[in-house]
Structure 1
């Protein structure tokens, strides 16, 4: 079981992953959660975090939502990335690349201890 600190670290990059998936195609919340779980099975996340992050991204103008009622079943709230969202995704990519270099350094140095 993961501790709270590990979960917070995972959630830190949730906006990046949400924007990445929305850059590929519009999705509704449950479909987004399923896509995350399918593509990244080791990324532990729950629906509350997804919906909270979508709301924050919408408030920032990084995503827009719309209701789809033409499909069978109940109406679904879909999300799409905006130009501001693409800009944010680019910034998040830079942040992740920097962190990756830091983690790569750690792993390389750790390997020298063996």
Structure 2
């Protein structure tokens, strides 16, 4: 999409701090982070919202979601466990869809947000 910010980032026409890239996905640091770790995972192919995806995109959506724990571990916010089995750490994944869902950029993207309860200030 010609005027899509994230399409321009995927095309490397706008600089970003890329933390992961493959043939289908790009992950980069959010320029206005809501937490110590705030990454965005986008498909390189344009979908305005999650609602624009069909069952045909299930493998791509699964790939986006499967990437989240790998990035969470790399950036120090993965779920871990104490010796007694008590969970530690953690992160949040969010996909906002449409104006009432809080979406601001109309290119499907997954937020990976981590740190000490970062979502308290996140809309």
Please classify the TM superposition score into its range, dividing by the shorter chain length: under 0.3
- Is the strand fraction higher in 1 or 2? 2
TM-score by length of structure 1 reads 0.26
TM-score by length of structure 2 reads 0.25
Question: Which is higher, the Rg of structure 1 or of structure 2?
Answer: 1
